[in-house]
């Protein structure tokens, strides 16, 4: 008998509350996403807040995970190595990683490498990985627990740095050959 009463109730009695509930949840999520800081968004995606420098207030973040952070100026921050942040930093955020990173470079052995991806594979390992194209640099995850101060910088890009180094080396080599009256050699780049 109870079964027949449920069958007699209009379907709209069940659908309308479910629809209202889903709209309410989506609305709450969009409000919380709008009021969240970029640091909270990083943390809720399994990444440390210190991946970005202190004081970021101007950023965008959409449903696909795409974000863009706008800084007042390009700056450097010191961790185990030094990181350079361009005025605009962007990427695609998913749980435990940022793909397609633009605007962050890491220094290693006096050279700057563009960071392409950042990821935390296993949080309990205590390691975070920066993909710089050639290799994956690993750092202590605890180094990025809190946002660091970022000092104004005018760091050159990888291509400019490579060209400057090649130019300096060739100039030295040619100067050395001139002093010792050697025939110049051809350099292939």
Contact of 48 with 145, CB cutoff 8 Å: yes
Q: Could you read off the pLDDT of 17-26 as tens digits, one per residue?
A: 555 445 444 4
Contact of 79 with 8, CB cutoff 8 Å: no
The two structure tokens encoding residue 155: 């760091």
DSSP 63: T
pTM for the predicted model, two decimal places: 0.63
The two structure tokens encoding residue 105: 């470079």
Which of these, 77, 144, 90, lies nearest to 116 by C-alpha position? 90
Give pLDDT, residue 81. 82
pLDDT band at 69 (very low <50, low <70, confident <90, very high): very high
Higher pLDDT, 174 or 111: 111
Pairing mode, strands 136-140 and 151-152:
unpaired
DSSP 91: E
Q: What is the spatial distance between Cα 69 and Cα 88, in angstroms, rounded to a whole number?
A: 6
Q: What is the spatial distance between Cα 97 and Cα 62, in angstroms, rounded to a whole number?
A: 16
Average pLDDT over residues 3-20: 55
Average pLDDT over residues 23-34: 44
């Amino acid at each position: 008998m109870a079964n027949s009463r449920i069958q007699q109730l209009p379907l709209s009695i069940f659908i309308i509350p479910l629809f209202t509930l889903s709209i309410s949840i989506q609305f709450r999520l969009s409000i919380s996403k709008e009021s969240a800081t970029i640091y909270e968004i990083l943390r809720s995606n399994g990444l440390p807040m210190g991946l970005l420098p202190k004081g970021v207030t101007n950023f965008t973040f959409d449903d696909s995970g795409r974000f863009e952070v706008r800084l007042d100026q390009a700056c450097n921050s010191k961790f185990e190595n030094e990181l350079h942040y361009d005025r605009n930093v962007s990427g695609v955020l998913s749980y435990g990683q940022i793909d397609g990173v633009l605007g962050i470079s890491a220094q290693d052995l006096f050279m700057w490498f563009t960071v392409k991806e950042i990821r935390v594979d296993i949080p309990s390992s205590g390691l975070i990985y920066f993909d710089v194209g050639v290799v994956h640099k690993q750092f202590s995850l605890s180094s990025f627990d809190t946002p660091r101060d970022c000092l104004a910088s005018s760091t050159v890009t990888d291509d400019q740095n490579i060209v400057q180094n090649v130019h300096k080396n060739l100039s030295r080599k040619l100067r050395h050959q001139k002093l010792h009256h050697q025939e110049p050699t051809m350099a292939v780049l």
